[in-house]
Amino acid sequence: MAKLTFEGLDEVMLSMKEMAELPDDTANDMLQTGAAIVAAAQKRNIQAALRRRTGVLADSVTVTPKMKTRNGTERFVTIYPRGKHHTYDHNGSPKIATNNEVAFVNEYGAPKRGINPTGMIRKANEESADAAVAAQFQVYDAWLNTK
């Protein structure tokens, strides 16, 4: 009868456990690296879709400066246009339109106002996904090589 034995299984299990416990600084580096690629793609797509405009919207796309956690388990960053875009008159009082609102209207359209949806941010996210994951993997691989 055949017999199967393992030597060094405890070391392998310890290594797998170490890999599962990704340090916060490495996770933050991975998130920031991928986010920078996605943000650049969003800026390019916004400029291409709205080329007749001032560039305020594209310039406002930013990434959160550091990793955030919810309940200590979920790590994420946000990428979206921030800040004030312009002021307009609304029934005699000034209103501020944010870059996020302007991006939303351009992304999904406003048929009553004659604005067609562009899908510029969704397209940018889809186009940059593979490059962002590859860049994040490089950061992860560099961390793994230190183990």
Calpha distance 134→130 (Å, rounded): 6
Produce one character per residue of 60-83: b if its CB has 16 or more CB atoms within 10 Å, e if not.
bbbbeeebeeeeeeeeebebbbee
DSSP-H helix ranges across 50-119: 56-59, 99-108
Q: How many domains does the chain have?
A: 1
> Where is average pLDDT lowest: 5-14, 28-37, 50-59, 120-129?
5-14
Kindly report the pTM of this predicted structure.
0.78
- Asked if the structure places residue 16 within a domain, the reply is no
- Asked if the structure places residue 8 within a domain, the reply is no
pLDDT tens sequence across 103-125? 999 999 999 999 899 999 999 99
- Asked if the structure places residue 13 within a domain, the reply is no
Q: How many residues does the chain have?
A: 147
Q: List the domain range (segments joined by +) for residue 92.
A: 24-145
